[in-house]
Amino acid sequence: MASLTTIPQSEGETKFTIELYENIGCPFARRSMLAVFEKALDAQHFVIPLSGQLKKIQQDGLGAAPGLSASLSGKSVEEMLAIKEQYKIDINPTGEVPSLAIRHSDTKLDVVTEADVVCEFLEDQFPDSGNSLMPPDALGRSKIRTWIKTLNGANGVRAMYGTLMNQDPSKDEAMRAAVYKGMATFARLANDDGPYFLGAQVRIHCLRVWLLIPCLFFVLFLLTRYQQAYLLFCFVSILTCNTLFIVFFGGSAAVANVGSV
C-alpha cells in the first residue's frame, strides 16, 4: 500500500486514513469530491475507470477517452482494466464510483458507498472539520431532506431527464408540470436571503444542486421561448462546471492511481 496521509485526530482516537475512489466524469463521484473539499479533508484520491470509458478504449484505443487517459497517464488499456477489476475485489464489488474507504491503522478497512451516504458520513464523522454541511437546527435539516427526497422522486432529476429524452409530444405537458412542481418545492423550501439554499452557508444538498445546474438550464431551454439565451447559459454552465472541476480536482488535488495501491 502506498503511504497515505493521516487525518489529524485527537489523542486517544483510533488512527485512520480516508481514500476516495472517484472519476471526474461521474456526477455522483463529483458530489463526494465536493464534500471532501468542503470538509477540508486530506483524503487520498484514486481514479477508477468507468465501464463506458473502458469499452471505448478497448474498441478505439486510449485516445477515445482523453479524460481517463489524462487522469491515469502512462497506463495501458490492460492496466486500466486491471485497476477496475482490483477495485471490485478490494473496495466495491459493483464497480461503481464513488466509494469512500476508511483504512484503520490496524489495516481493517471500512467502505462507504453511494454518493449521498458518503456526503452524510463525512459530515457525521468530521463535524468540526471544514464547512458544516448540515444546519444545526432540526427545521433546516428537514428542509434539506425534503428537497433531496423531491430531487430523487418523480418531480426531480427523473422529470428533468424524462423531459430531455421525451420523443412523444403528447407527454410534454405532463413532464413540464412535473419539472415545475419540483422547482416549486425547491422555491418553497429555500431561504429568501440566500445566497445558498438555506442562507449564508453551503449545505449538503448544494453539492447535488450545483452539479445539476447545466441540466436545469437545459430543461429551461426546452421549456421556454427564449431558447437561444438558455442554450448559451447551458453551454457556459457546463463549461464552467467542468473547468472548475479540472482546476480544483484534476490539477491541484492529489489524484493518485489505484494501480499503486
Summarize as ranges the residues that interact with ligand GSH (CB under 6 A).
26, 28, 50-51, 95-98, 114-115
State the minimum distance, in angstroms, from the CB of residue 10 to ligand GSH: 30
Which lies closer to ligand GSH via its Cβ, residue 50 or residue 220? Answer: 50
The least distance separating ligand GSH from the CB of residue 207, rounded to whole angstroms, comes to 12
Residue 68 Cβ, how far from ligand GSH at the closest point, in Å? Answer: 11
- Nearest CB to ligand GSH, comparing residues 83 and 159: 83
- d(CA 210, CA 217) in angstroms, rounded, equals 12
Report in angstroms how near the CB of residue 34 gets to ligand GSH at its nearest.
13
Q: Whose Cβ is closer to ligand GSH: residue 20's or residue 50's?
A: 50
Nearer to ligand GSH, 85 or 137 (CB): 85
Count the Cβ atoms, other than its own, within 10 Å of residue 83: 21
C-beta closer to ligand GSH: residue 84 or 176: 84
- Checking 139-147 for CB contacts under 8 A at 24+ apart, the result is 140/198, 140/203, 143/189, 143/197, 143/198, 144/197, 144/198, 144/203, 144/204, 144/205, 146/185, 146/189, 147/185, 147/186, 147/189, 147/197, 147/205
| Residue 45 DSSP class | E
Residue 104's DSSP bridge partners are 16
Smallest gap from Cβ 138 to ligand GSH, in A, equals 25
